[in-house]
Structures are given as C-alpha cells and as structure tokens.
Chains A and B, each alone.
Chain A
Amino acid sequence: MQRLIIALISGLIFGAGLVISEMTNPIKVQNFLDPLGNWDPSLAFVMGGAVAVTLVASRFIMKRKTPIIADRFYMAVQNTIDARLIFGAGVFGMGWGLSGYCPGPGLINTMINPTEAMLFLPALIVGGWIGQRYSA
C-alpha cells in the first residue's frame, strides 16, 4: 500500500512538472529542437533541473543497500551501448521531432489536446507493441 502511494505521488509530481515546464507544449518542444531556426533554448533547463536533482539524489540513494520500503533496487542489468539502443534512440528522436511529443506529455495530452492525443496515443501503443515483438 505504501509503495502504491509513493508511486501515485511520484506520478503526480512528474505530471505537474511536465506541465509547469511546458514540456507538454509541442510547439515549444519543436522550437527547442530547432537550433538553426526558431530556437527556444528554455527547455534545456527542464532536463538541466531534473538531472541536477537526480545526479545528487542518486548518489545518496545508491549508498543504501535497499530502498526505503522495497526489497531491492530494480535497475537495468546491462550497460552496453549496442545497435538496438542506437537504433531505438534514433527512431524515438525522429518521432519526438515529428510531433513534439514524448511518451509522458503524450499521455497528459489526453487532458490538453484530445484531438491530437486521439491520433498520437494509439499509434504510440501500436509502436510499442511492434517494438515489443522485436525485443528479447
């Protein structure tokens, strides 16, 4: 039960952060990805702020043997940069640029711009399903 409450609170803060930072505004995201054109660098502060927190916090958290209310840390085991990672990240970046949505803002967009979410989200799920079939 405690773990569910933490997951809910974590989700709430994440969703709030995405909207406050305007990561849910696809025009702004596309402008961020357009350094040679109509560049809006402000979204660099989103990743900057987030990574500043996780870099410091992770250092303290990972000193613990276990998480505060769970039996272990659930991390990716592999840490190799392989063809799948390069291909996947490249295709993801292309999709991100084409609409300005990554998965989180895509989900929240059901509340903001349902007309676009109605097209983007089902396609995202079908894409994830296709990707799943090519995953071990």
Chain B
Amino acid sequence: MFELWPSQPLLGGVLIGISAALLLAFNGRIAGISGILYNLLFNPLSSPERSWRLCFIIGLIGGGYLMLPVEFELRQDYPPILLIISGLAVGIGTRIGNGCTSGHGVCGIGLMAGRSIAATAIFMASGILTVTLLRNFSG
C-alpha cells in the first residue's frame, strides 16, 4: 500500500522530525540514536536513565518492524569486509564526533547548533566521497 503514497521520503522525514520534537518537548532529551545506544551499552547509568533509552531503542526497532510492508529490493552478496569496516567506522566516528544522522543531522540542526551543522556537512561530504570512490575504483 505504501508505494502509492506520493512522497515516502518526505512523509518519513516528517515522522522523524515529530519523533525528535516529542522526545525534546516532553522528556527534554535529544533523539540521537548513536548517543542513546552508546550510553546504554558503555556508561553506568541509574535505572531510569537506562530504562528510557531501552524503551526508545525497543520502540525504534519495533516501529521499523511494524512498517515492514514497505517493500524494497533486498541487497545480497554485499562484501562482508565492507560491512565490517563500515560498522567499525560508523561506531568510532559517531562516538568521537558525538552524534550521527539523527543527533547532528535532525536534532542539532533543528536547534541551530553550529557544531551539528558542521558535522552534517562533513559526514555528507565524506559519505559522497566514499561512495564515489567505491563505485568508480572497485570491481
């Protein structure tokens, strides 16, 4: 049913914005996925601090699961080494840079934080450079 909707990216983006606004307005928290995940995994937290993060992550995966009628072609046989290097780089980069697409790109820019605007410009440029190199100089 979803492929009939005129602009899925726009609709999805608005939902993401609403989600971030909701968490900020009610709980005073930034909906930054990498930060929420790392705090949960690596930092000793009090029970309430742990619980809301866990709820958010469970919601995130559950919300994605509920929408799975959205269909797209499933990638197969992607080189495992690229997935592993990618995971390592995303982990190291988002931890050291204090945020990912959600924290910097959606929340931080919304708050007009110069740090987040810079981070977003840099990870977009770096992502474009990487895909361009990957697609033109590998088999």
- Whether the pair A85, B62 counts as a contact (CB closer than 8 A) is no
Asked if B4 is at the interface (CB within 8 A of a chain A CB), the reply is no
Looking at B37, B38, B67, the one whose CB has the most chain A CB atoms below 10 A away is: B67
Nearest B residue to A97 via CB reads B130
Task: Taking A103-B34, A108-B64, A111-B65 as given, write out 6 further A-B residue pairs in contact, using a Cβ cutoff of 8 Å, ordered by the A residue number.
Answer: A3-B26, A7-B23, A11-B58, A20-B70, A21-B11, A55-B110
A52 and B14 alpha carbons, distance in the complex (Å): 8
A97 CB to nearest B CB, Å: 3
- Whether the pair A95, B89 counts as a contact (CB closer than 8 A) is yes
Known: A17-B13, A111-B68, A128-B91. A9 touches B59 (CB 8 A): yes
Looking at A16, A27, A111, the one whose CB has the most chain B CB atoms below 10 A away is: A16
A105 and B61 alpha carbons, distance in the complex (Å): 9
- Whether the pair B12, A33 counts as a contact (CB closer than 8 A) is no
Looking at B19, B31, B70, B84, the one whose CB has the most chain A CB atoms below 10 A away is: B19
Q: When each residue 50-61 of chain A gets 1 if its CB lies under 8 Å from chain B and 0 otherwise, what string results?
A: 111111011001
B58 surroundings in chain A (CB, below 8 A): 8, 11
A128 CB to nearest B CB, Å: 4
Asked if B92 is at the interface (CB within 8 A of a chain A CB), the reply is yes
A4 and B72 alpha carbons, distance in the complex (Å): 32
Known: A88-B97, A89-B122. A49 touches B14 (CB 8 A): yes
A2 and B25 alpha carbons, distance in the complex (Å): 13
Known: A7-B56, A18-B16, A107-B37. A51 touches B93 (CB 8 A): no
A42 surroundings in chain B (CB, below 8 A): 7, 9
Q: When each residue 91-110 of chain B gets 1 if its CB lies under 8 Å from chain A and 0 otherwise, what string results?
A: 11111111011101111011
- Whether the pair A125, B91 counts as a contact (CB closer than 8 A) is yes
Known: A62-B111, A79-B114. A49 touches B27 (CB 8 A): no
Asked if B139 is at the interface (CB within 8 A of a chain A CB), the reply is no
A85 surroundings in chain B (CB, below 8 A): 97-98, 115, 118-119, 122
- Whether the pair B64, A45 counts as a contact (CB closer than 8 A) is no
A7 surroundings in chain B (CB, below 8 A): 23, 27, 29, 52-53, 55-56, 59
Select one of B15, B56, B132 contacting A36, CB under 8 A.
B132
A95 surroundings in chain B (CB, below 8 A): 85-93
Known: A89-B126, A123-B84. A11 touches B62 (CB 8 A): yes
